[in-house]
Amino acid sequence: MKLSFRWYGESDPIKLEYIRQIPNMQSIVSAVYDVPVGEVWSHESISRLKEMVEEKGLLFDVVESVPVHEDIKLGLQTRDLYIENYKETIRRLGEFGVKCICYNFMPIFDWTRTQLDRKLSDGSTALVYYKDQLKKMDPLSGELALPGWDSSYKKEDLKLLFEQYAKINEEQLWENIEYFLKEIIPIAEESDVKMAIHPDDPPWNIFGLPRIITSAENLDRLLKLVDSPYNGLTFCTGSLGCSRLNNIYAMIDKYSARGRIHFMHVRNVKILDDGGFEESAHFSDSGSLDIVKILSILHANHFEGYLRPDHGRMIWGETGKPGYGLFDRALGASYITGIWETLGKMRRNI
């Protein structure tokens, strides 16, 4: 297991030297943010990011994420240009030593929450998804500004995208991702960069938009589209685990045993009676997921991929990007490291 930590580049208020002080921390998970979606990442930007990370004694070998242009997801005639750009970005990242790229295929919106700062019983604040709040949201209002929602879209751009996706059903989205994977995976193989798709978050349709990376059945289908070890998964416990329909323990066992999980996002969620959820501390007793069981499965299957503590609460008065404070994610990383060390000693009968 290679422990890693998400960092948003020079604009991130969290200093790399602080991340370096987290026990067992090895890699920084980051991306190039000065290039528009669909354009090729420049050598200069990649090199600068790598230098910043490595001069602090950390590795830059996993990227999250290289966004997929909407024209690719929609299957428009312009997609080939953007796919060629994507291939070149893969090649360049491989040249700089990147071994894993996380990406997603969610139409328009990335991970979606309805509130940034819900106060929990312990006084911390967390990201939540409340169904009653979602019902009151209008994605075309131009007023939404939550994590995962691309604020660069103008109201008229969103309207056009919704009109385009109204013509796309799930089967057509499957056709478009198959086309994309058959183009990029050979390049990933040549570049020795493993592609790791992130599941839809949450794993169900929102605002009438189709979502397909949602369940074991669909993950099986995705992996069979191009049956290559370079076509793999970012397994997010919170994304897939917030649905009671998913047996994430069986899923983690199956895909880690097959070597198809390249990146683990580990976080906990408290599932509510109506199917909504609140994000919680990483500890097993804090939410609905058994983090010890998850890590035990990975350890038993000799997981050697990347793992990072995912969204955390905002605690101890910390401010900044909701869900991405230093303190609670550092606690989560230490909790994960402690469990992993214990599992190793138990295996060796120490």
Task: Quickly tell me which residue has 């987290």 as its tokens.
Answer: 22
For 3, half-sphere exposure in the C-beta direction (CA atoms, 13 angstrom radius) is 22
Task: Quickly tell me which residue has 């990227």 as its tokens.
Answer: 63
Helix (H) or strand (E) holding 277: strand 277-280
CA–CA separation, 128 and 119 (whole Å): 10
Does residue 45 have a cis bond before it (omega within 30 degrees)? no
Catalytic pick among 236, 255, 306, 335: 236
Catalytic pick among 61, 310, 328, 335: 310
Catalytic pick among 153, 242, 255, 265: 265
For every residue of 216-250, DSSP letters joined together read HHHHHHHHHHT-STTEEEEEEHHHHHTSTT--HHH
Told to judge if 324 belongs to the known catalytic residues of this protein, a careful annotator would answer: yes
CA–CA separation, 304 and 27 (whole Å): 13
Told to judge if 102 belongs to the known catalytic residues of this protein, a careful annotator would answer: no
Residue 273's CB is within 10 A of a number of other CB atoms, namely 5
Told to judge if 100 belongs to the known catalytic residues of this protein, a careful annotator would answer: no
CA distances from 93 to 43, 126, 151, 259, 278 (A): 9, 33, 26, 22, 35
Catalytic pick among 69, 282, 299, 311: 311
Told to judge if 311 belongs to the known catalytic residues of this protein, a careful annotator would answer: yes
Catalytic pick among 86, 230, 306, 324: 324
For every residue of 3-24, DSSP letters joined together read EEEE--GGG-SS-HHHHHTSTT
Residue 58's CB is within 10 A of a number of other CB atoms, namely 20
DSSP summary character for residue 166: T
Catalytic pick among 198, 262, 282, 299: 198
Catalytic residues: 198, 236, 265, 310-311, 324
